[in-house]
């Protein structure tokens, strides 16, 4: 019905009969159609190949680690402290140490980072100060982690007299991931439609009520993404903690913020460089790497589950 | 003419220094419990004018506003006015339906919660009353916890109206509330607008002259930032006194 009407309108209103039909529109060059098809297949193949390459690299690393370290995995390995100069026992001390470091660094970096992002995105009115601060924040992301480690040593350990401790190491790690959290949060906040803010303001919400009640909840899934990325880096970095709080060996868990800690990445470093009994420590070293990967993966999955839950609630 | 709820005196607005003003010397009264439509071609200043009435233009940087807007005789641009409580009294519905990404219930309860209402029973009453008054209750009463985004565009716009009236405003501003809606949903909003004026003073911006003729008691015609003519809708649409009004409503431009 609709089509007939359109057809009539067209044939009455416009002299369409003079125009050529699409079947008359031959290929521009002979072989062009063939080339189009070939290019399409080729690009599909290249995309697939790139994906396959990445997957192969990833699988190789994982299977290499599993082959070398799988044998040392056991319940005792993750529940007992190291013994006998790291040649026996488990790695529960560095596991707990790494979890503590993640906790301390996130307690610092997450609120500070999100608040900074809110300031940049909601309050700062452009201008030189904002741009300078933002540039400084971005530059922080490109500082090598070993430099941050030295900064942590000089500032937290020495100047603030926190010593080589869980607190110093956690804060140093926090500084390292601040840019990640700020940038991810800023992007998430910028993606919140202006419409929501207008609606809240029109109901008589103050600036803070708008941010707290509408903007932040809408942006939270994106903010969590920044958190997930940060946890991975915090758990895995060695350089920022080796001067600031991670130790070769600790007789027990850190009981307060000023104790030093063992940490998984540093433990790997220690096993790989400082051991004399290589036959005994190498399997433990690979086992430790596997546990570190599992910890990061586990935390990321919790984060992603939280995010998809929030997405469902929010959107 | 009965008591004017809103009196606008020589209101001018420019978005930045040196540019030609978006509103020039507008003087107008809006009667209580009446519905006034603002019509005019795109860019004539009608939306800008509407946004002056709840000070939403305050967010525009560099904006300069002169003149007075009296709500019940008190200037809303006076320095001692609390903008947030002004906006509570003068509610607004936007061009695109913009429910929050929360549940239907949470959307309506948002305003009362801002005002400090925490009592779940009272909030429930407000939600039901507002949804009934916006004509949405029967459609959503069984799924108040569903996401607002699961509603159709027209339902979302009525939800926004429910959200706006949940804080019991005195004036309701509607900025082209049906421009994103289909004809059926538009008809429902128009019907609702006619109902709402019994309780509120309603001002509606529309680019649709038929809509203005259908729903409003008074019509104001804007052109290039100027209020050309205003008066009872029947008069504006039958015997306009200004040539430009006549040209516009007969479709010669715009």
List the domain boundaries for chain A: 90-314
- Asked if the structure places residue B204 within a domain, the reply is yes
DSSP assignment of A123-178: I--SHHHHHHHHHHHHHHHTS-HHHHHHHHIIIIIIIS---SSHHHHHHHHHHHHH
Complex-level ipTM beyond the 0.85 threshold: yes
Q: Nearest Cα to A181, choosing from A220, A215, A155?
A: A220
For position A27, what pLDDT does the model report? 58
Ranges in chain B, pLDDT < 70: 1-3, 254
Contact yes or no for A203 and B147 at CB 8 A: no
- Asked if the structure places residue B254 within a domain, the reply is no
Residues of chain A contacting residue B164, judged by C-beta atoms under 8 Å apart: 202-203
CATH architecture of A90-314: Orthogonal Bundle (1.10)
How many domains are contained in chain B? 1
B92 shares contact with chain A (CB less than 8 Å) = yes
Ranges in chain A, pLDDT < 50: 1-14, 315
pLDDT tens for each residue of A189-238: 999 999 999 999 999 999 999 999 999 999 988 899 889 889 988 999 99
For position B251, what pLDDT does the model report? 81
Cα A10 to the center of its chain, rounded Å = 56
Nearest-CA residue of chain A relative to B86?
A: A204
Contact yes or no for A214 and B85 at CB 8 A: no
For position A4, what pLDDT does the model report? 40
Instruction: Report the predicted TM-score, pTM, of the whole model to 2 decimal places.
Output: 0.79
- Asked if the structure places residue B181 within a domain, the reply is yes
- Asked if the structure places residue B91 within a domain, the reply is yes
Angle CA(A22)–CA(A25)–CA(A28) in degrees, nearest 5? 145
- Give me A306's structure tokens: 């939280």
Query: What CATH number corresponds to the domain at position B51?
Result: 3.40.50.300
Shortest distance, CA A15 to any CA of chain B (angstroms)? 29
Shortest distance, CA B92 to any CA of chain A (angstroms)? 6
pLDDT tens for each residue of B203-238: 999 988 889 999 999 999 999 999 999 999 999 999
Shortest distance, CA A114 to any CA of chain B (angstroms)? 20
Helices B153-165 and B183-196: angle between axes, nearest 10 degrees: 20
Q: What's the first-to-final CA gap in chain B, in angstroms?
A: 30
**Do residues B218 and B34 lie in contact, with contact meaning Cβ atoms separated by under 8 Å?**
yes
Domain with B32, as residue range(s), is: 4-249
């Amino acid at each position: 019905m609709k089509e007939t009407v359109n057809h009539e309108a067209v044939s009455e209103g416009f002299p369409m009969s003079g125009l050529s039909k699409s079947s008359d529109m031959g290929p521009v060059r002979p072989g062009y159609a063939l080339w189009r098809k070939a290019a399409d297949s080729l690009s599909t193949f290249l995309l697939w190949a790139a994906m396959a390459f990445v997957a192969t690299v990833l699988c190789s690393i994982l299977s290499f680690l599993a082959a070398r370290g799988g044998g040392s995995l056991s319940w005792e390995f993750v529940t007992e402290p190291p013994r006998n100069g790291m040649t026996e026992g488990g790695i529960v001390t560095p596991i707990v140490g790494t979890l503590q470091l993640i906790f301390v660094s996130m307690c610092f970096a997450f609120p500070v980072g999100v608040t900074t992002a809110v300031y940049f995105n909601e309050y700062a009115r452009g201008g030189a100060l904002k741009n300078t601060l933002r540039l400084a924040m971005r530059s922080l992301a490109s500082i090598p982690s070993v430099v941050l480690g030295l900064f942590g040593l000089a500032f937290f350990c020495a100047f603030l007299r926190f010593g080589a401790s869980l607190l110093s190491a956690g804060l140093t790690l926090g500084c390292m991931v601040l840019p990640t959290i700020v940038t991810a949060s800023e992007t998430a906040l910028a993606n919140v439609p202006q419409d929501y803010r207008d609606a809240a303001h029109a109901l008589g919400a103050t600036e803070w009520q708008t941010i707290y009640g509408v903007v932040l909840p809408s942006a939270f899934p994106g903010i969590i993404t920044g958190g997930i990325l940060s946890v991975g880096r915090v758990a895995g970095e060695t350089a920022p903690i080796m001067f600031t709080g991670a130790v070769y060996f600790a007789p027990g868990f850190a009981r307060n913020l000023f104790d030093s800690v063992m940490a998984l990445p540093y433990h790997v470093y220690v096993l790989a460089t400082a051991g004399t009994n290589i036959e005994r420590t190498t399997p433990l070293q690979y086992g430790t790497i596997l546990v570190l990967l599992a910890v990061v993966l586990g935390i990321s999955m919790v984060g992603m589950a939280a995010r998809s839950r929030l997405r469902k609630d929010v959107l | 003419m009965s008591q004017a709820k809103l009196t606008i005196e020589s209101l001018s607005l420019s978005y930045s220094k040196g540019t030609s003003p978006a509103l020039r010397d507008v003087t107008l009264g809006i009667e209580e419990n009446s519905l006034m439509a603002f019509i005019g071609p795109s860019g004539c200043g009608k939306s800008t004018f509407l946004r002056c009435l709840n000070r939403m233009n305050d967010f525009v940087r560099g904006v300069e506003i002169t003149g007075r807007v009296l709500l019940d005789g008190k200037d809303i641009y006076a320095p001692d006015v609390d903008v947030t409580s002004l906006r509570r009294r003068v509610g607004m519905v936007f061009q695109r339906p913009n429910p929050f990404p929360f549940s239907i219930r949470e959307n309506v309860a948002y305003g009362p919660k801002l005002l400090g209402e925490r009592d779940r029973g009272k909030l429930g009453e407000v939600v039901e009353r507002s949804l009934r008054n916006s004509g949405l209750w029967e459609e959503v009463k069984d799924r108040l916890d569903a996401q607002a985004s699961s509603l159709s565009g027209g339902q979302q716009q009525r939800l926004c109206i429910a959200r706006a009236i949940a804080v019991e405003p005195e004036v309701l501003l509607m900025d082209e509330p049906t421009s994103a809606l289909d004809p059926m949903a538009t008809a429902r909003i128009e019907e609702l607008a006619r109902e709402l004026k019994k309780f509120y003073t309603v001002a509606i911006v529309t680019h649709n002259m038929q809509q203005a003729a259908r729903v409003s008691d008074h019509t104001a015609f804007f052109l290039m930032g100027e209020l050309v003519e205003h008066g009872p809708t029947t008069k504006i649409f039958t015997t306009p006194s200004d040539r430009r009004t006549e040209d516009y409503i007969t479709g010669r431009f715009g």
